[in-house]
Amino acid sequence: MNPHDELGRYIDAHHPEQVEFLRQIVRVPSDTPPGNNAPAAEKAAALLTALDFKVERHPVPVDFLRGYGMQSVTNLIVRHRFGPGGPTVALNAHGDVVPPGEGWTKPPYEGVIENGRMYGRGVAVSKSDIATYAYALAALRALAQRDAGLRGAVELHFTYDEELGGLAGPGFLLANKLTEPDFAIAASFSYAVVTAHNGCLQFEVTVRGKSGHGAMPQTGRDAFRAGAAILDAIYAEADALAAKKSRVNGIDHPTMIVGLIEGGINTNVVPDRLTLRLDRRMIPEEDPVTVEAGVRALIENAVRGRDGIRVEIRRLLLARALQPSPGQKRLVDPIRRHGRRVFGEDIPAVGVPLYADARLYGEHGIPIVMYGAGPRTIAESNAKRPDENLLLEDLRRATHVVASAVHDVLSG
């Protein structure tokens, strides 16, 4: 029998177990914030152990997490060696999620199944791919008992801080040389293989003035007025960014928004402080150093010459873009080939405007693409919105594709 057909038979036979595996993961909340995610990792470790995998636990030191803004993170690694030589392929998915928020019609932490879909926070982003990758490796392991043609190793990297930037997840594993794979696949959706993504800079800007009585505003130095000038400058620049186009298919242009504003003392007091947080997305062609210098200059120039006003700018996040690389071809070709076979349609290779943990592997020189279970678009799954859901048929088919593509990489 064709090895890809054998992998598919194993996956199909174990699909009900895979669905229950996913449901059990969904039932353990892992909201970030607050980021108390060790319990979710322990649940995943128990389920992986039940699949006869040896699970390594790599807790992140509390001192690091305290400054990072999380409470507990335990990263998991499963390593399975096939034949001697060959590459090591890492499969990375994150088990942390954004808080559910309001507006759900199904319980966010039950894994309710209706009409072939599972509903729950994280079923699409990206607890689904913990299940995808675990059962893809299980299928490869079962095949290897009868077929000695595979050379190399597969590692499962299940991490728990993607929503906060990945530095306590893949960043921690890679920086501490706990893993050094030759290739990697990271969680995504099954109707495209992602070869590039945007970068991101986030800043906190504090405008400081001087308070004064509301009946005598001239006695104060209004931080809100200065802040309004900064906002005008930011949004004028945001509109201008639309003309700066990326050459990467699927990525349009850079963006910039202000996502949070707070400040002031009371209704009848001249505000002495305004704090805003802004998000600047960078296309792969942009240099983060140049972009950061430009954002800082934009803000400082907007309030230059205003008496009694000073501005503090603090960088919160630098996430570099994932760049397309020639080494990705070793992954892209088999994913697209088997995607066409399993889904009956072409699987495009594209970039996406969000940023993800994949960039951290790319920064270490590891060819990585994003591929996993899910719909054509984030919007279709309600990812990070109420009633997030996953078509379970997409989970089954994506597992076919991942297992077969990794098989081809390991068989040379």
Q: What is the mean pLDDT of residues 244-261?
A: 97
* Residue 69 DSSP SS3: coil
Asked whether residue 141 carries a pLDDT value surpassing 80, the answer given is: yes
Residue 265 is predicted with a pLDDT of: 97
Task: Report the range of poorest mean pLDDT among 64-73, 199-208, 280-289.
Answer: 64-73
Q: How many CB atoms lie within 10 A of CB 164?
A: 19
pTM of the model: 0.92
Task: Report the range of poorest mean pLDDT among 110-114, 136-140, 151-155, 408-412.
Answer: 408-412
Cα–Cα distances (Å) from 315 to 43, 203, 224, 276, 287, in that order, read 35, 4, 21, 12, 16
Q: Hunting for tokens 């308070």 — which residue is that?
A: 211
Q: What angle do CA 330, 335, 337 make, to 5 degrees?
A: 100
Q: How many CB atoms lie within 10 A of CB 374?
A: 29
Question: Minimal CA–CA distance to 398: which of 139, 147, 152, 88?
Answer: 139
Q: What is the mean pLDDT of residues 323-328?
A: 94
Residue 210 is predicted with a pLDDT of: 97
Question: Minimal CA–CA distance to 192: which of 321, 341, 351?
Answer: 351
Asked whether residue 102 carries a pLDDT value surpassing 80, the answer given is: yes
* 161-198 pLDDT, tens digit each: 999 889 999 999 999 999 999 999 999 999 999 999 99
Cα–Cα distances (Å) from 275 to 203, 227, 280, 304, 312, in that order, read 10, 8, 17, 17, 9
Q: Hunting for tokens 């150093």 — which residue is that?
A: 289
Q: Where are the beta strands (DSSP E) in 209-283?
A: 212-213, 255-263, 269-270, 273-282
Residue 371 is predicted with a pLDDT of: 98
Residue 2 is predicted with a pLDDT of: 92
Asked whether residue 409 carries a pLDDT value surpassing 80, the answer given is: yes
**How does residue 148 score in pLDDT terms, banded at 50, 70 and 90?**
confident
